[in-house]
Amino acid sequence: MFDKIRKFEMAAAIATMLLAGGLAGCSSMSSNHVDCNVVKLQQQSGRSDSEIAQAVGAPIADVEACKGAEKSGNKASGGVPDSY
């Protein structure tokens, strides 16, 4: 009797973890932003914005938003600390 209950508990726990993992995976795939590192690599290889947008499945406006200067956490010195 206890063996059947333990098997059911284990199966329920595994099913719950699979369901939670599946939902977490789906939500991360429906992201609405573009990885600018991927866009910059594609731009360096000579692809146009429309080709990149089609390849990553994003609007051209999101691809174009990746253009421009990179941002640093230290705005005063452009990323280099004043003193060490």
Q: pLDDT tens for residues 12-59? A: 888 888 877 776 655 455 456 788 898 999 999 999 999 999 988 888
Taking the C-alpha atoms of residue 84 and residue 77, their distance in angstroms, rounded to an integer, is: 13
CB neighbourhood size of 19 (10 A) = 10
pLDDT at 63 over 60: yes
The residue ranges of every structural domain in the chain are: 1-30, 32-68
pTM over 0.75: no
CB neighbourhood size of 42 (10 A) = 19
